[in-house]
Amino acid sequence: MFAIISLVIIVIISLIVVRVATVALTLTGLSSELARFQARSAFTSTGFTSSETEKVMRHPVRRRIIMMLMLFGNAGIVTAVSSLILSFIDRNEETLFWTKVSVLVFSLVIIWIVAHSAWVDRHISQFIQWALQRWTDLELRDYAGLLHLTDDYIVVEMVVRDGDWLAERPLSRLKLTDEGVLVLGIERADGHYIGAPRGDTLMHVNDNLLLYGQAQVLKNLDERRQGAMGNWEHHKAVEHQQQVILHERDEEDELSDAEKSTETAGPADNSLRE
């Protein structure tokens, strides 16, 4: 009977772990259904589809949650199977055997009813959300979504090396914003961090820069060396960024003209119908 009690406790703990992970994934920006599916898939080690895997792997908090679920899932399933085997390994007394089966089935039915109760689910989710925000230091905001990171726009770390175009020059002279590059932060070689650096901030050798921009532009910036060639690369990058801005403005103007023409055609269409 002790093995059955252990099995029931393991099932309850497993449900709680999956529920906590579901709420945590929801707080990162996933929908409730997708968060529940990913939590259960990770706990049972059944895996996800490629698109769902990408949503998890590109978010550091989601990766940590999924890894913890996999660890708990492997331990929980093995323990549950072991307890189940131990529960019915002794079948000398048929009456005791059926008593164990009845207790196990009754316990699992009660757990299933409680687990599928909307009232219980709502209140447990609210408590778990409050507890996660109160007692954990997880950054649950989806910063990848906030920054609209796609295949074109990324956030990278770049180390300034001796001879780089960036080395020993202030931000005001580099004019990286003209290339569409934002410097989010600078970590000095001594560990000092400068957030949102200003124009007079110098880029020293061995500085670790946190940059936001298009992947190709950042790659070009990382490979750019000092001298006339580096200045020419900067000039070309600025021209390219200006073309991108003009193209985006043209698209906005076309969209605005299309909306205006639709609004103008609306009353005319109504008059024709009358």
Q: What is the pLDDT of residues 173-186, one digit of tens each?
A: 999 999 999 999 99
Among 117, 143, 169, the domain-final residue is 143
Query: Range with the lowest mean pLDDT among 17-21, 87-91, 129-133?
Result: 87-91
Residue 138 lies in a domain: yes
For residue 65, the model assigns a pLDDT of: 78
Identify whether the C-beta of residue 200 lies closer than 8 Å to the C-beta of residue 163.
Answer: no
**124 lies in the same domain as 17:** yes
**How many domains does the chain divide into?**
2
**114 lies in the same domain as 247:** no
**95 lies in the same domain as 158:** no
With CA atoms as reference, report the closest residue to 18 among 77, 74, 73, 80.
73
Q: What is the pLDDT of residues 139-164, one digit of tens each?
A: 545 555 556 565 578 888 899 999 99
**9 lies in the same domain as 136:** yes
Among 121, 143, 165, the domain-final residue is 143
**19 lies in the same domain as 134:** yes
For residue 49, the model assigns a pLDDT of: 55
Residue 274 lies in a domain: no
Identify whether the C-beta of residue 207 lies closer than 8 Å to the C-beta of residue 159.
Answer: yes
Residue 273 lies in a domain: no
pTM above 0.85, yes or no: no
**25 lies in the same domain as 132:** yes
- Which tokens go with 121? 């689910």
**132 lies in the same domain as 14:** yes
For residue 111, the model assigns a pLDDT of: 75
Query: Range with the lowest mean pLDDT among 18-22, 145-149, 252-256, 265-269?
Result: 265-269
**55 lies in the same domain as 110:** yes
**124 lies in the same domain as 158:** no
For residue 93, the model assigns a pLDDT of: 54
With CA atoms as reference, report the closest residue to 233 among 241, 101, 119.
241
236 has a pLDDT exceeding 80: yes
Domain with 249 in it = 147-268
**6 lies in the same domain as 110:** yes
Among 143, 161, 182, the domain-final residue is 143
Q: CB neighbours (10 Å) of residue 38?
A: 23
| Structure confidence at residue 20 as a pLDDT band (50, 70, 90) | confident
**Burial grade of 230 (CB within 10 A; 0-12, 13-18, 19 or more):** middle
With CA atoms as reference, report the closest residue to 244 among 202, 213, 266.
213
